[in-house]
Structure 1
Amino acid sequence: MDYISTRGKVGAIGFIDAVLMGLADDGGLLVPKTIPQVSADTLANWRRLSYPELALEVFSLYMSEEIPREDLKKLVDDSYATFRDEHVTPVRRVKNNLHILELFHGPTFAFKDIALQFLGNLYAYISRRKNSIIHILGATSGDTGASAIEGVRGKEGIRICILHPHGKVSKVQELQMTTVDDANVLNLSVDGNFDDCQRIIKELFADVPFKQKYHLRAINSINIARVLAQTVYYFYAYFQLENQGQAGPVNFSVPTGNFGDIFAGYLAKKMGLPVGKLILATNENNILERFVREGVYEPGEFHMTYSPSMDIQVASNFERYLYYLYGEDAAAVSALMEGFKKEGKIVVPGEKLRQVQADFAAYGVQNDECLATVGQYHDEYGYLLDPHTACGVAAADRLAGDGEVTVALATAHPAKFNEAIELLQIEQTFPPQIEALFDKPQRQTLVGGSNEAVKAELLKFF
């Protein structure tokens, strides 16, 4: 399996080189040269596999024996042994035809653990195998940072620096990052919002001499390994329902800000998984909803919401979708992204918009509706949603047709967002791992929202 750039100026490279490159050196994103096709017979054979067994099979399709199977099996087994549920990502039925895919049973109680426990172990494996230094640089709207830090803290040969927007993540998210005292971890609290953090990261990675000199590696979902790891739980959710007697296509409703999680579902569908609707749920930062409805991708006014991990205007994985929307035409994608850089928006023509609307349904959930959904499901079904998951559930309720089976992705444990839950006078019991955070000292450095300010801290750290 080879990997190429969405902008066409990176020659075919192997999986390990793709992981190490992160952002493609031409500024694009790496994608597999071909998408593996999974037959109905293979799906039937996979149906009874455990989560680690299924992950091994899916990953194997994208690696071409570049990592020996026994080594890969150990990486997978070690990564998912840290989860609190034997199914890793269990599916819970909440009401007729609506199920919740719980993705928060990892070490930091967020869906990012599923990819980042694996990616952390993979980076450690690559560092040992190549006898190389790895400096991880990432931005977070809340959950990626904690999951990434947990995946590599204390690991030899690896240093990690995470940028988060100062005062714009939940308290638990902040504590999960900043109470880590391992010497290989640096937290930078950036004066700005997540889009500022993400822009800095992308621009530093686009400075190829700087990236290569300091061995910079990506942990954000610009790294193709993140997306591949997330495809697994779409397959696993489908099989869990199939094993319960559910036949036929399944809808997935996905709360998303950076387009990575729903792109993984899109990739799983292109591989051959019987997916019905892919429902894209956003909050008031609804650039992606507008794109699906109108064909216009243009950042608007930034809103702080009860679902801060989705407070994103520029979705870093969107370019990967454009690549497939435009028939894998790298020149067309390059022109679109250059136009976006100059004009601040992308407009797709009518025939492309019809394809977008065939690929996705979309709904933007307002703040009041988000909270109301948390309250409704708590009162009527005894199930406590975090505010991001509530956006996915609200979108499913709006867009799933009568009789359609829908899985809403639960992206975080509600304890991570108690600020919103408290507004409903709902008391929840924190898991002991989260409760313990409040007694620990914090370590973070406040920096300005510029490349130079961040680069200065990196040079001191590396």
Structure 2
Amino acid sequence: MKYYSTNHIAPEATLQTAVTKGLAPDKGLYMPERINAFDPAFFDEMTGLSLQEVSYRVADKFFGEDIDRDTLKALVYDTMAFDIPLVKVTDTIWSLELFHGPTLAFKDVGARFMARLLSHFIRKEGEGEVNVLVATSGDTGSAVANGFLDVEGINVFVLYPKGLVSEIQEKQFTTLGKNITAIEIDGTFDDCQRLVKQAFLDEDITVKLTLTSANSINVARFLPQSFYYFWGVAQLKNRGVTDRIVCSVPSGNFGNITAGLFGQKMGLPVSRFIAANNRNDIFYNYLKSGSYEPKPSVATIANAMDVGDPSNFARVLDLYSSSYGSIKENITAYTYTDSQISETLRTVWQENKYLLDPHGATGYRALQEGLKDGETGFFIETAHPAKFLQTVEGIITEKFEIPDKLQEFMKGEKKVVALSSEFGDFKSFLLD
């Protein structure tokens, strides 16, 4: 399988090059040259398969031409070694809980797969050290850092905005040490993302260091996220829901929903998608006007979605050949204020005894408002509510138990490098 750039200037790349480089030389994002569809019979068959087997079948469609079957299966089975349950919230709304992995967030899937795939390529080629750069607005940093922890030949640099991630999220990647370096940027997530992109395009850096990105700009991060959309549909089908399925995705950098759109292109029977936004409503406004106008991000209680210029919008455009009409036909969007997110979280807890995190609350509310008669939907519950402990407890005015995994992270000592948002400072740090 070859991979092309969304800017269509850079030469096509192999999977290994796309994963190792992260960003194409022309600043575009890599896309697979084709999307292999499933035989329709598979969607009945998958209801009898395990999460790991469903994930492997999907992975084989993407990576089967480049990785031998036994190796790919081992990578996928090791990645997906935790549960992803589908939990009923109302008669027509279900929650796909993606917080049962090591860092209790949906990004465990993509981060763990990428770490294993990149390690496989390093061992295969006998390459030297690879330096992974990742910008995070919350959960990406912890998932990537823990996914790559102690992986030989890989150094990870996590850039995050000072004071704009929750304490628990921060502890999950600032206390690890070893091959993980946490860099606190005096700025926003967009500044962190800009610094990462600039580093890839700076010849002084790329001559000296082998760089790759673990953000969803990397194909090895976002493509595996399609696994759980298939698993969500399989579980719904096992509960008797076979058609008119809608999926609502809390959306920030748009890697997550893009993975779902890829699944749909492979034949997954999801009738349409909903992009649930917080006040960072760039995509919502695009659907209204047809004009994409990025703007500075706004801080909200759903902080992992605080993105003012979603990188993966380029992939959405490419997937639909820049057809505004096609995008609008398949994706709807909603945008919510902090007070609306809080209201939803509180109401669902009081009426349904289901505890949402702020991001999942946007996905739930968008489904609640967007479902039509005869439709059933599931939303992506992206992280455990305890990762936003003070926010959630303040909303529901109750205490709840913190999982043991998170309590262990909280005991660690924070170790960070503090930098400004100026590229020169970041460049000097990397070169030194």
Match of 1:365 among 328, 333, 336: 336
SS in structure 2 at match of 1:186 = strand
Aligned ranges 1:252-271 → 2 under 5 Å: 252-271=247-266
User: 1:105: which partner in 2?
Assistant: 100
User: 1:442: which partner in 2?
Assistant: 414
Instruction: Name the CA distance, whole Å, in 2 between partners of 1:209 and 1:457.
Output: 12
User: 1:121: which partner in 2?
Assistant: 116
Instruction: Name the CA distance, whole Å, in 1 between partners of 2:116 and 2:26.
Output: 27
Match of 2:314 among 299, 319, 324: 319
1:320-357 residue CA offsets vs partner (Å, 9 max, x unmatched): 11113336xxxxxxxxxxxxxxxxxxxxxxxx433221
SS in structure 2 at match of 1:458 = helix
User: 1:176: which partner in 2?
Assistant: 172
User: 2:132: which partner in 1?
Assistant: 136
SS in structure 2 at match of 1:253 = strand
Instruction: Name the CA distance, whole Å, in 2 between partners of 1:301 and 1:21.
Output: 27
Instruction: Name the CA distance, whole Å, in 2 between partners of 1:398 and 1:259.
Output: 21
Which is worse superposed, 415-424 or 185-194? 415-424
1:42-79 residue CA offsets vs partner (Å, 9 max, x unmatched): 32333322111112111111224321111111111222
User: 1:205: which partner in 2?
Assistant: 200
Aligned AA (1:414): P
Instruction: Name the CA distance, whole Å, in 2 between partners of 1:300 and 1:228.
Output: 27
Aligned ranges 1:150-189 → 2 under 5 Å: 150-182=146-178, 184-189=179-184
Checking the alignment, whether the CA contact within 8 Å between 1:386 and 1:414 is kept in structure 2 is yes
Give the drift of 1:209. 6.0
Aligned AA (1:162): V
Aligned ranges 1:415-454 → 2 under 5 Å: 415-424=386-395, 425-454=397-426
Checking the alignment, whether the CA contact within 8 Å between 1:294 and 1:353 is kept in structure 2 is no
Give the drift of 1:410. 0.2
Aligned ranges 1:26-105 → 2 under 5 Å: 26-81=26-81, 83=82, 88-105=83-100
Checking the alignment, whether the CA contact within 8 Å between 2:117 and 2:220 is kept in structure 1 is no
TM-score (normalizing by structure 1): 0.90
Instruction: Name the CA distance, whole Å, in 1 between partners of 2:117 and 2:148.
Output: 10
User: 2:23: which partner in 1?
Assistant: 23
User: 1:458: which partner in 2?
Assistant: 430
1:150-177 residue CA offsets vs partner (Å, 9 max, x unmatched): 0111111111101000000011001111
SS in structure 1 at match of 2:156 = strand
Instruction: Name the CA distance, whole Å, in 2 between partners of 1:459 and 1:300.
Output: 31
Checking the alignment, whether the CA contact within 8 Å between 1:134 and 1:215 is kept in structure 2 is yes
Checking the alignment, whether the CA contact within 8 Å between 2:132 and 2:156 is kept in structure 1 is yes
User: 2:382: which partner in 1?
Assistant: 411
Aligned AA (2:85): P
Runs of 4+ in 1 over 4 A off after TM superposition: none
- For structure 1, the 5+ residue unaligned runs are 328-351
Aligned AA (1:220): N
- For structure 2, the 5+ residue unaligned runs are none
Give the drift of 1:373. 0.6
1:76-122 residue CA offsets vs partner (Å, 9 max, x unmatched): 122222x2xxxx22111111110000011110000000111111111
Aligned AA (1:207): D
Give the drift of 1:298. 1.3
Aligned ranges 1:258-407 → 2 under 5 Å: 258-300=253-295, 302-326=297-321, 352-407=323-378
Instruction: Name the CA distance, whole Å, in 2 between partners of 1:385 and 1:304.
Output: 19
Give the CA RMSD over aligned residues. 1.4
Give the drift of 1:212. 5.0
SS in structure 1 at match of 2:41 = helix
Which is worse superposed, 430-439 or 262-271? 430-439
1:261-315 residue CA offsets vs partner (Å, 9 max, x unmatched): 1111111111111112200000011111111122122134532111011111010
TM-score (normalizing by structure 2): 0.96
Instruction: Name the CA distance, whole Å, in 1 between partners of 2:326 and 2:350.
Output: 39
Give the drift of 1:458. 1.7
SS in structure 1 at match of 2:160 = strand
Which is worse superposed, 129-138 or 430-439? 430-439
Checking the alignment, whether the CA contact within 8 Å between 2:284 and 2:334 is kept in structure 1 is yes
Matched, 1:238 2:233: yes
Aligned AA (1:211): T
